[in-house]
Structure 1
């Protein structure tokens, strides 16, 4: 099938790779412009661009899509049968949606209609969901509201976080995409309208979301830590210095200390929550690397009985 691919980050690469491996003619890869990265602010290629260049696929990086006739005409001239979108990063104008014979399909990282929006993986973990998955859907004017073509789910395990789920869904996305295209080609693909009454929204993440509210239950805080890894990360303050908590477990505890109180800090760090307590596993202080909490405590004094700062009530 003649395909135009639109995607930008690492999540999109397995889908593009599968299209190439299964012999589809990827005529063009449209991706976001290069961005400065690192201390030197050197321009860095998006992962999709890197893959496309290695495989001889033409790359196109328009600054915008809306009201951009140059983009519309470039795609029209190619006459693609299908446009595949995977985490491109911008909303597609209706002019583009109308171009391909078989429409535009999106590789979405949730079980729609749950978690429409920019950060479905993170919110599924933050909200303590037990499963998530990939939805291949037709694209339309609304935000992730198009008909469902194919879905496949995976469990969210206790040891998972947003980072591990991202990697699992990236691979799964490529597999489910190929299955959907195969069914499209042989005429067996059926579409299903989404039940809007069951829709939930997954808004873009903000750094301020990571500030831990110790009044909450330990399981909620643990899910926040898991869901905000690797960015923006969950954090608190001790004596005015930020502590980023990378991983933690729920610790069964029923003491009457104020939430945010440090219960243990010798060779382990346990913090009282609104319900139960949190046992920190990995931590990062300001100016330090991420490390096991035992290693951190050997070089940094944290006093039992003191209060963590930055509590939001």
Structure 2
């Protein structure tokens, strides 16, 4: 099929590469405009643009895809279908109606659960045991279209947001390549989403990572996992930010009720324990402000931490 591919980050690139490998004709890649990065302000291209340039595919980078002149540009390519993956802009009904087979989206959850911007991380934050990818026929609403194909995978207990992101990007590429010929042959019966089961998730933000030690230990562990590598979970040790990169829960209740959540209760050679709202949280990997990421063992060799010290502000 002749395809217009719309996407921006590495999650989308994995799908684009699979589509190219499968022999489909990608006539255009639509991605977000180049953005300045770092102190130098040097413009950085998206992962999808980089892939498109490697394969000599035309690139289109509209600031607002809905503008009439941009819609007119899309129509020039006479594509059979538009494939969308983490593009970053909402498509108008006018655009959805352009291609013969409409527009399909690669969404990293088992819809109707986790409609929205950060379904991968949210599944971990909520302590889910499984997640997956949905190929969806796009509609005007946010992730509300009919389901075409779905595949579920388990979430490992120690899985991080970054690790799950990588697994689902590969799965998304495999699933869209499986779906495209079936869509062309009319072999897929679209299934409407059950609105009563729909849930939403918003964008990630840095302030989400602040650890509140009055919460239960498992929720804190999930926050550490889900926000790894970005925006990361963090607390404060004195006046310095302390990022927590890896932690584990302990089935140990604190016997001293006078100690506040966030208090360091024990220090070992390679870890230290912190009191939470219900149990102890064992800290295994950290990064103190101004320092590199390291194991708790290396951190304890260079920082004098005491039982009774309190994390947080």
Which TM bucket (shorter chain)? over 0.9
Q: Secondary structure at the match of 1:78?
A: coil
* Aligned-partner Cα distance in 2 for 1:291–1:72: 49
Counterpart check, 1:306 vs 2:305: no
- Confirm or deny: 8 A CA contact 1:240 1:309 kept in the other structure: no
Residue 61 of structure 1 aligns with which residue? Answer: 61
Q: Secondary structure at the match of 1:288?
A: coil
> Could you tell me the TM-score, scaled by structure 1's length?
0.97
Counterpart check, 1:279 vs 2:286: no
Counterpart check, 1:262 vs 2:264: yes
Residue 246 of structure 2 aligns with which residue? Answer: 247
Residue 24 of structure 1 aligns with which residue? Answer: 24
* Aligned-partner Cα distance in 1 for 2:36–2:86: 19
User: What per-residue deviation string (whole Å, max 9, x for no partner) do you get for residues 28-58 of structure 1?
Assistant: 0000011112342211110000000000100
* Aligned-partner Cα distance in 2 for 1:309–1:240: 9
User: What per-residue deviation string (whole Å, max 9, x for no partner) do you get for residues 104-138 of structure 1?
Assistant: 00000000000000000011000000000000001
Residue 85 of structure 1 aligns with which residue? Answer: 84
* Aligned-partner Cα distance in 2 for 1:115–1:229: 19
Q: CA deviation at 1:295?
A: 0.2
* Aligned-partner Cα distance in 2 for 1:287–1:106: 41
Q: CA deviation at 1:266?
A: 4.5
Root mean square deviation, CA, Å:
1.0
Which residues of 2 match residues 1-313 of structure 1 at below 5 A?
1-66=1-66, 68-255=67-254, 256=257, 257-267=259-269, 268-310=271-313
- Confirm or deny: 8 A CA contact 1:34 1:43 kept in the other structure: yes
* Aligned-partner Cα distance in 1 for 2:101–2:185: 13
- Confirm or deny: 8 A CA contact 1:5 1:16 kept in the other structure: yes
User: What per-residue deviation string (whole Å, max 9, x for no partner) do you get for residues 42-76 of structure 1?
Assistant: 1111000000000010011111123x112111111
Q: Secondary structure at the match of 1:95?
A: helix
- Confirm or deny: 8 A CA contact 2:101 2:184 kept in the other structure: no
* Aligned-partner Cα distance in 2 for 1:253–1:19: 50
- Confirm or deny: 8 A CA contact 1:11 1:86 kept in the other structure: yes
Give the number of equivalent residue pairs: 309
* Aligned-partner Cα distance in 2 for 1:228–1:38: 21
Gaps of 5+ in 2: none
Q: CA deviation at 1:147?
A: 0.2
